[in-house]
Amino acid sequence: MRVEDGLPRLRVFHPVRGEIEAVVLTRYSDVRAAFADERLVTGNGIDATLPRTLFNRPGFLPAYSGPEHSRLRRMLTGSFTVRQVEQLRPAMETMVCDHLDAMVEHGPVVDLVEAFALPIPSLTICELLDVPYGTRSMFQRCSQVITDGTADADRLVAASAELNVAMADIVTRNRATPGDGVLGTVVREHGAELTDDELIGFGTTLLVGGHETTATMLALSVLALLRNPHQLAALRDDPAVTGTAVEELLRHLAIPAPLLRTAVADIDLNGNRIDAGEHVLLSPLTADR
Ligand code: HEM
């Protein structure tokens, strides 16, 4: 597809909309241009005619576009400034060291996902959201259903509802006494501007988006480095390249599923036409290689 002229239209499966036809973008230049084009929108809010899943509920940020997206997104930026995230460093360093020590103590063979890749981001997101770590098997199971891309609408609705119930408790607690976590901060700074349902949506979106992605990256990054010993040696020999290595691993592993947009106007994308109303699928996986 990358070397052929024009843009293919394919039938693809979408977790909320079912089977749809979409223009599929696989070339770097096309995907890059599409990400930057405001006429290609992620969603127009929540669609009450479609099943209520994590992807289609109030507070799920990627479902919004334009001013409504900015309104909600603005409420979270205070919790994710560089300074704010930097404050997590000492606690995270201790947590990482403890887990590495436990792996050494356990000795070979040790399961990297169970011992490290899943607990580190799970503990971090629990800390950020005031979610009890004891509920991890529930939210990890639900996240897996939601992100694995093959679950049908019934399973998606059920997993989303289970997360909702748990997050509703945390929202109630933070409404009564705002804590130091992300939801407490949002309640303190913007509590009157959003509903409980939107707050629950923020919480479940961050809970799922904030641990599954990072867990997958940690596990696959170690595998990629073990399969490429020269790259592993380069990283070991010079810790200054760590930042570049993370960027390169994000590019190379390209873990996000293809991203769907909808054209709200006729668009000329690098000489190819996309009509208003057409769905467009962006594939970082192919574009980044
Ligand atoms: C390696 C780790 C991660 C990867 C690969 C990743 C990937 C992505 C991708 C591909 C999107 C959609 C972007 C789009 O539609 O244009 C996204 C959105 C988002 N991610 Fe992540 N993510 C990661 C970690 C996190 C973490 C740790 C958090 C929270 C603590 C987070 C929270 C979000 C949120 C809130 C959105 C929606 C943003 C919006 O619509 O304004 N992500 N992420």
Kindly report, residue by residue over 83-110, the tens digit of the pLDDT: 988 999 999 999 999 999 999 999 999 9
Report H helices in the chain.
28-35, 66-77, 82-86, 89-106, 112, 119-129, 136-147, 153-176, 182-190, 196-227, 229-237, 242-253, 284-287
| % of residues, the chain, pLDDT over 70 | 99
Q: Ligand 1, residue 206: give the atom nearest the CA.
A: 29
List the structure tokens of 54: 């994590």
Ligand 1 centre to CA of 119 (Å) is 19
Q: Is the dihedral of CA 148, 152, 157, 162 positive or negative?
A: negative
Asked if the model's pLDDT at residue 17 lies above 80, the reply is: no
**Ligand 1 pocket, residues with Cβ under 6 angstroms:** 42, 61-62, 73, 205-206, 209-210, 213-214, 217, 255-256, 259
Confidence band, pLDDT 50/70/90 cuts, at residue 30: very high
Report how far residue 252's alpha carbon sits from residue 247's, in angstroms, rounded to the nearest whole number.
9
Asked if the model's pLDDT at residue 150 lies above 90, the reply is: no
Say if residues 235 and 225 touch (Cβ distance below 8 Å).
yes
The conformation of residue 257, written as its DSSP 8-state character, comes to P
pLDDT of residue 63: 87
pLDDT of residue 256: 85
Using one digit for the tens of pLDDT, what is the confidence trace for 250-280?
999 998 888 999 999 999 999 999 999 999 9
Q: Does the global pTM surpass 0.95? A: no
Mean of per-residue pLDDT scores for the chain: 93
Please choose, from the candidates 71, 56, 84, the residue with its C-alpha nearest in 3D space to the C-alpha of residue 190. Answer: 71
Pocket residue to mutate for ligand 1, from 14, 128, 213, 279, most atoms within 8 A of Cβ: 213
Say if residues 167 and 204 touch (Cβ distance below 8 Å).
yes
